């Protein structure tokens, strides 16, 4: 018997056993291949709930377990007592018994096929791997009414489609699975990429984030969507090549750092002057008006976008904070908004933490650790507490190779600062007179990455000992004069 005939016979047997199951809901198809997927069980339950089919919804929610509890913030519901009896009697012809047969039949159908409106269709063999892709109608209530078979369609190449969101999750735990469930729920409405965002101690490790887990995009037919798995640890299945998605993330991350810098700079400027910056020159001016150390064409686009929002006063009131730039920069997917564990980038300004115990300096946004540098300190001579970067200067005292190196940042108008050193062997030790010493490449990246006004907290302990710097450093093209020949700097080296 041909493969197609075998499938048709199994489908006939299935519907003979459950004659009143005519509702072709999108996540039911997914469960035919992945019956242990708690996210799909939860979403299928929500679809039945929307249709008023309470018993089926509750059964799905019971299969979803902790995913239901995470989304609904309440215990999994139980079936009414009468229907619990029906579930225990497989031979019953009552509605509850038929749903039990449906659940059992999920394992009966052959893997590798999808069902829409009771009509079978083979997966498109153009996929990198047929088990790595699942094609679904866009969302509950959006099912196609076309009576013809609908075949799976290959997802658009991530590098071409551009993602609307890029979400980070550390592991396929409750939080990670909930993120994926949310992607599935919005499939067809937006393109999304889920990436690994591993933990480093108590923090999200930005440098090592970005390995693709799963991506969703519009399918080849109206109202459909395609999910591609890229990480077998998450799905327990074969996976599609994540090379294109990985390339998107590699280009996306530096532009998110630039957006974060711009947003932080505007917030710190407002805190310092009481007003939002009127133009890019207000942020990237000559010393001492060098809130940022350079400027790019992309930053101009983002600044104009944010400024339009700030100028749109509601009830005559100036907005209290600045949002997140939505426009893409030089790459299409740079417009994707960070979400999941990476969401703090969009609402938490930059903050520096110095750990005297581990001799580390971290650049943070919320609990996202963007960098973790090795530094030299002064032991008890290095003060603890809260400071801000009150001054930024290039080539202190007219030199790039002096005792303060090529860059310097004053802490709260004191003699303490973050600067370079002509004694690189002192990095990791307590040999300074109280200042924070940095290696040249680390210092120059930090100088470009954080704006003037950035808060600095000096404490004992708290940061991981592992350093974190990217293979390609964040740098801004210098657009202004940041030297200060009128002053002789005497930081406490």
pLDDT tens profile 12-43: 554 454 334 444 555 555 555 555 567 777 77
Q: Is 139 helix (H, G, I), strand (E, B) or coil?
A: coil
pTM here is 0.74
pLDDT at 132: 52
Residue 461 contacts residue 355 (beta carbons within 8 Å): yes
Q: Which of 141-145, 151-155, 250-254, 356-360 ranks highest by mean pLDDT?
A: 356-360
The residue to which tokens 């004659």 are assigned: 19
Residue 288: cis peptide before it, omega within 30 degrees of 0: yes
Q: Where are the alpha helices (DSSP H) in 152-242?
A: 158-161, 174-185, 232-235
- Helix, strand, coil percent content, the chain, rounded in steps of 5: 35, 20, 45
Q: Is 253 exposed, middle or buried (0-12, 13-18, 19+ CB in 10 A)?
A: buried
* Distance in angstroms (rounded) separating the CA atoms of residues 354 and 317: 37
pLDDT digits (tens, 9 = 90+) for 206-217: 999 999 999 887
> pLDDT band at 419, cuts 50/70/90?
very high
Residue 198 contacts residue 209 (beta carbons within 8 Å): yes
Residue 194 contacts residue 180 (beta carbons within 8 Å): yes
* Distance in angstroms (rounded) separating the CA atoms of residues 249 and 264: 22
Question: For residue 142, is pLDDT > 50?
Answer: no
CATH 3.40.1160.10 applies to domain 350-459: no
Give every CB contact of residue 218 below 8 A, 6+ residues apart in sequence.
156, 161, 188, 191, 224, 225, 226
Please, which residues bridge with residue 365 across strands? 350, 368
- Look at 146-150, 287-291, 344-348, 465-469 and tell me which has the smallest mean pLDDT: 146-150
pLDDT digits (tens, 9 = 90+) for 369-412: 999 999 999 999 999 999 999 999 999 999 999 999 999 999 99
Which of 473 and 29 is assigned the larger pLDDT?
Answer: 473
Please state, rounded to an integer, the average pLDDT across all residues of the chain: 78
> pLDDT band at 312, cuts 50/70/90?
confident
Which of 106 and 335 is assigned the larger pLDDT?
Answer: 335
Say which DSSP state 320 is in. Answer: S
Q: Is 262 helix (H, G, I), strand (E, B) or coil?
A: helix
- Taking residue 300's Cβ as centre, other Cβ atoms within 10 Å add up to 13
Question: For residue 487, is pLDDT > 70?
Answer: yes
Rg (CA), the chain: 28
* Distance in angstroms (rounded) separating the CA atoms of residues 409 and 437: 11
* Distance in angstroms (rounded) separating the CA atoms of residues 112 and 135: 12
Residue 474 contacts residue 448 (beta carbons within 8 Å): yes
Provide mean pLDDT across the span 87-116. Answer: 31
Which of 184 and 77 is assigned the larger pLDDT?
Answer: 77
Question: For residue 310, is pLDDT > 90?
Answer: no
Which of 244 and 358 is assigned the larger pLDDT?
Answer: 358
pLDDT at 370: 98
Residue 370 tokens read as 């963007």
Torsion of CA 249, 255, 260, 266, to 10 degrees: -160
* Distance in angstroms (rounded) separating the CA atoms of residues 324 and 274: 20
- Assess whether 60 carries a catalytic annotation: no
pLDDT at 342: 97
Which of 348 and 114 is assigned the larger pLDDT?
Answer: 348
Instruction: Find the length of the chain.
Output: 493
Give every CB contact of residue 356 below 8 A, 6+ residues apart in sequence.
377, 379, 382, 384, 458, 459, 460, 461
Residue 430 tokens read as 């307590």
* Distance in angstroms (rounded) separating the CA atoms of residues 238 and 428: 45
* Distance in angstroms (rounded) separating the CA atoms of residues 211 and 242: 8
In the chain, which segments carry CATH 2.40.440.10?
350-459
- Assess whether 419 carries a catalytic annotation: yes
Q: Is 459 helix (H, G, I), strand (E, B) or coil?
A: strand
């Amino acid at each position: 018997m041909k493969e197609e005939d075998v499938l048709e016979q199994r489908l006939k047997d299935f519907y003979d056993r459950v004659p009143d199951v005519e509702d072709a809901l999108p996540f039911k198809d997914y469960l035919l291949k992945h019956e242990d997927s708690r996210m799909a069980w939860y979403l299928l339950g929500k679809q039945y709930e929307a249709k008023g089919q309470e018993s089926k919804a509750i059964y799905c929610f019971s299969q979803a377990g902790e995913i239901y509890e995470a989304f609904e913030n309440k215990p999994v519901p139980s079936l009414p007592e009468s229907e619990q009896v029906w579930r225990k009697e497989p031979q019953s012809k009552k509605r509850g018994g038929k749903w039990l047969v449906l659940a059992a039949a999920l394992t009966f159908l052959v893997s590798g096929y999808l069902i829409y409106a009771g009509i079978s269709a083979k997966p498109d063999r153009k996929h990198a791997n047929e088990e790595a892709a699942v094609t679904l109608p866009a969302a509950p209530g959006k099912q196609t009414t076309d009576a013809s078979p609908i075949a799976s369609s290959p997802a658009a190449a991530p590098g071409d489609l551009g993602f609307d969101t890029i979400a980070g999750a550390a592991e396929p735990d409750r939080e990670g699975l909930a993120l994926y469930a949310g992607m599935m729920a919005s499939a067809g409405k937006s393109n999304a990429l889920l990436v690994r965002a591993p933990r480093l101690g108590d923090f999200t490790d930005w440098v090592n984030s970005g390995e693709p887990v799963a991506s969703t995009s519009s399918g080849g037919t109206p109202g459909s969507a395609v999910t591609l798995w890229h990480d077998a640890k998450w799905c327990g299945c074969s996976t599609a090549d994540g090379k294109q998605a990985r390339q998107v993330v590699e280009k996306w991350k530096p532009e998110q750092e630039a957006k974060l810098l711009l947003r932080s700079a505007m917030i710190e400027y407002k805190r310092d002057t009481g007003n939002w910056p009127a133009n890019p020159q207000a942020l990237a001016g000559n010393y001492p008006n060098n809130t940022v150390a350079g400027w790019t064409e992309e930053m101009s686009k983002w600044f104009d976008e944010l400024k339009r929002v700030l100028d749109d006063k509601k009830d005559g009131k100036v907005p209290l904070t600045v949002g997140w730039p939505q426009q893409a920069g030089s790459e299409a997917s740079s417009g994707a908004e960070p979400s999941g564990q990476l969401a703090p980038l969009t609402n938490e300004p930059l903050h520096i933490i110095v750990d005297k115990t581990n001799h580390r300096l971290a650049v943070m946004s919320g609990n996202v650790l963007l960098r973790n540098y090795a530094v030299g300190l002064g032991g008890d001579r290095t003060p603890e507490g809260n400071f801000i970067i009150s001054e930024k200067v290039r080539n202190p005292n007219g030199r790039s190779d002096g005792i303060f190196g090529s860059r310097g940042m004053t802490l709260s108008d004191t003699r303490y600062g973050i600067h370079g050193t002509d004694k690189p062997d002192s990095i990791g030790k307590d040999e300074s007179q109280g200042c924070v010493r940095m290696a040249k490449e680390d210092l120059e990246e930090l100088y470009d990455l954080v704006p003037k006004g950035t808060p600095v907290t000096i404490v004992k302990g708290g940061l991981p000992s592992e350093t974190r710097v990217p293979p390609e450093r964040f740098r801004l093209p210098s657009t202004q004069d940041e030297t200060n020949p009128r002053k002789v700097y005497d930081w406490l080296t």
